Structure 1
Amino acid sequence: MKRTAVNPWDWSIKLGYNQAEMIEGAARQVICAGQTAVDGEGTPQDPGDMRAQISLALDNLEAVLKGAGLDLSNVVKLGIYATDVDEALKNFDLIGIRFDPYRVIPPMTLLGVTRLAIPGLLFEIEATAAA
């Protein structure tokens, strides 16, 4: 699979994402449901702690990708939902920490929402991956 960043401007790179990526030669695609800060039983964890919830949601995303035989290097698009965008952005370094070793900065969208499906959850991340 070949990835080519498409950035008519460079401002988004400074924020940690590409405007677009052209994907060529991918043999399969995996669409991941939104991952949140829940344990293996689906019980919400870390109430009120955005940083801990982002970290656990990323752990869960990595587990789903691993189950499909992929990892974060295969992520080609992220959708992120947060009940407090400012608080999420304060902790966005966690996304860079996870993705930087793979040298990918997938296109992403961050949306502020009034709540998530399960009360107490503050952050949800969905991904599209290709291999």
Structure 2
Amino acid sequence: MQRTPVNPWDWSLGLGYNQAEIIEGATRQVVCAGQTAVDAEGKPQHLGDMRGQIGLALENLEAILEGAGMGLSHVIKLGIYTTDVDEALKNFDLLGMRLCAVQNTPPMTLVGVERLAIPGLLFEIDATACA
């Protein structure tokens, strides 16, 4: 698979993402449902703790990708939803560290929402990955 970044402006690179990517030669695609800070039984964890919720949501996303034979390096698009954009951005270093470790800067969208499907959850992340 060949990935070519498209960045007519470079301001997004400082935030850790490309404006777009051209994907060529991919043979498999995985579309992940939104992952949140829930345990193996689907019970919310880290209530009131944005950092804890981001960390667990990322762990859950990585588990899904691993189950599909992929990892964060295969992610080509992220969708991020949060009930508190400012608090999420304060803790975005967690996302940056994991993506930087695999040298990936996929296009992403961050959206503030009134609430998520399960009360008490503050952060949700979905992904599209290709190999």
Instruction: Look up the equivalent residue of 1:80 and give its one-letter code.
Output: I
Q: Secondary structure at the match of 2:66?
A: helix
The alpha-carbon deviation at position 101 of structure 1 amounts to: 1.3
Q: Secondary structure at the match of 1:100?
A: helix
In 1, Cα distance between the equivalents of 2:15 and 2:66?
26
Q: Output aligned runs, 1:21-100, within 5 Å.
A: 21-100=21-100
* 1:49-97 deviations in Å (ceiling 9; x for gaps): 0000000000000000000000000000000000000000000000011
- CA RMSD between the two structures: 0.3
Q: Secondary structure at the match of 1:89?
A: helix
- How many positions carry a matched residue from both structures? 131
In 1, Cα distance between the equivalents of 2:16 and 2:108?
9
TM-score by length of 1: 0.99
Q: Where in structure 1 are there 5+ consecutive unaligned residues?
A: none
The alpha-carbon deviation at position 47 of structure 1 amounts to: 0.3
The alpha-carbon deviation at position 26 of structure 1 amounts to: 0.1
Instruction: Look up the equivalent residue of 2:123 and give its one-letter code.
Output: F
In 2, Cα distance between the equivalents of 1:15 and 1:73?
17
Q: Secondary structure at the match of 1:5?
A: strand
Instruction: Look up the equivalent residue of 1:36 and give its one-letter code.
Output: T
In 2, Cα distance between the equivalents of 1:98 and 1:120?
24
Aligned-pair identity (%): 74
In 1, Cα distance between the equivalents of 2:67 and 2:78?
18
The alpha-carbon deviation at position 16 of structure 1 amounts to: 0.8
Q: Secondary structure at the match of 1:78?
A: strand
Q: Which residue of 2 aligns with 1:124?
A: 124
